[in-house]
């Protein structure tokens, strides 16, 4: 275990150092390419996003596509792990079929769709300035189905681990349906909880930490290393995302990262009780997603808004609560939620 811990710490430190050096150069490149954010004028359902545009007009032009360094750092670290294996410094490399293949596959494949989304925003194409909801949902459905297919028909996983309370509950053919719905829920929830500097980054760090702890104590060290590479890159990114932000992640990072988290959740479900800790650490994301969906439902059914603006963190902003105050409160809440989830995970092994 000590050797594995040293390996994880080495990759974590190396990732952070390389990322913190490269990010300023990467931001300059984005500026040179005029890869700046375009503030949307319309909501996902077609109405004018007047309140949103008024609250965020000052962020227009800020370089986006900060997610590109995540992909680069992951590729670099996989390459380094491969070289270290060839040099007999380590026994394994990070692209491992038994442990990391399934989560890295979705991490790298998802960005293709959302790269198009980012380019449309940068080039100011279309009314909503990104892929429309129908196109996004098609991508979500296809990739969510693929995750469910892999776990059920390839790995033959058909159960939810609810030990120690209820033990293993087999769902048979309902399992791929459940994971399909859960994947769409997870990815949408994280994508919605954004647009405030440092908010999504900090919340995601604690979710990743929770899952990294769960992977480590379940002896999945290579998968733990992959998550720590993401954490290190995200911490480096946040140095340049402090209000006023010098760079934004935009949608692609959310979808890449959270498809990875969805796959990690199902991977952990194979060995430990992860459902309740996951719900706890996702609570802020769940609240934001529910308020956003309620808003859309209300407009479709009753033809008027339930809230002046959704999701919930934008509603707080609308109520003249300062951006940094909202972020600070949510940091504190997320820290408490993550610690609670980690304690529950540890109790399974006592």
Average pLDDT on 158-184 reads: 82
**Separation CA 140–CA 347 (nearest Å):** 35
Average pLDDT on 289-299 reads: 85
The torsion region of residue 320 among left (phi > 0), alpha (psi -120 to 50) and beta comes to left
Token pair recorded at residue 46:
């077609």
CB atoms within 10 A of CB 300: 9
**Separation CA 55–CA 48 (nearest Å):** 14
Q: Does residue 12 carry a pLDDT above 90?
A: yes
pLDDT at 131: 58
Regarding beta strands 167-170 and 159-162, do their DSSP bridges make them parallel or antiparallel, or are they unpaired? antiparallel
Chain CA centroid to CA 27, Å = 21
Token pair recorded at residue 27:
């931001």
The helix/strand/coil state of 116 is: helix
Average pLDDT on 311-330 reads: 80
Q: pLDDT, tens digit, for every residue of 190-241? A: 777 766 666 777 888 899 999 999 999 988 999 999 999 999 998 998 888 7
DSSP result, 8-42:
HHHHHHHHHHHHHHHHHHHHHHHHHTT-B----SB
Name which of 103-112, 273-282, 312-321 the model is least confident about.
103-112
């Amino acid at each position: 275990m000590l050797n594995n811990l040293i390996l994880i710490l080495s990759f974590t430190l190396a990732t952070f150092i390389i990322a913190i050096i490269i990010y300023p150069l990467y931001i300059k490149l984005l500026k040179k390419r005029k890869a700046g954010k375009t503030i949307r004028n319309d909501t996902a359902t077609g109405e004018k996003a007047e309140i949103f545009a008024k609250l965020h007009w000052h962020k227009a032009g800020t370089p986006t596509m900060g997610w590109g360094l995540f992909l680069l750092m992951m590729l670099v670290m996989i390459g380094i792990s491969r070289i270290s294996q060839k040099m007999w410094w380590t026994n394994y490399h990070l692209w491992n079929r038994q442990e990391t293949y399934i989560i890295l596959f979705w991490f790298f494949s998802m960005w293709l769709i959302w790269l198009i989304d980012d380019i449309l925003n940068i080039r100011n194409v279309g009314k909503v300035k990104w892929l429309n909801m129908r196109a996004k949902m098609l991508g979500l459905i296809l990739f969510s189905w693929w995750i469910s297919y892999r776990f059920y028909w390839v790995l033959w996983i058909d159960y939810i681990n609810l030990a120690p309370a209820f033990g293993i509950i087999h769902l048979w053919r309902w399992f791929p349906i459940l994971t399909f719905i859960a994947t769409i829920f997870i990815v949408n929830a994280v994508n919605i909880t954004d647009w405030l500097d440092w908010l999504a980054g900090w919340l995601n760090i604690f979710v990743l930490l929770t899952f990294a702890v769960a992977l480590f104590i379940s002896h999945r060290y290579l998968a733990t290393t992959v998550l720590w590479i993401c954490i290190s890159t995200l911490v480096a990114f946040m140095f340049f995302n402090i209000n006023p932000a010098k760079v934004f992640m935009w949608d692609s990072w959310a979808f890449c990262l959270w498809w990875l988290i969805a796959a990690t959740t199902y991977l952990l479900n194979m060995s430990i009780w992860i459902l309740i800790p996951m719900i706890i650490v996702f609570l802020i994301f769940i609240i934001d997603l529910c308020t956003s969906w309620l808003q859309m439902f209300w407009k479709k059914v009753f033809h008027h808004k339930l809230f002046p603006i959704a999701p919930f963190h934008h509603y707080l902003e609308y109520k003249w609560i300062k951006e940094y105050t909202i972020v600070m409160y949510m940091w504190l809440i997320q820290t408490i939620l993550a610690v609670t989830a980690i304690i529950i995970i540890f109790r399974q092994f006592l």
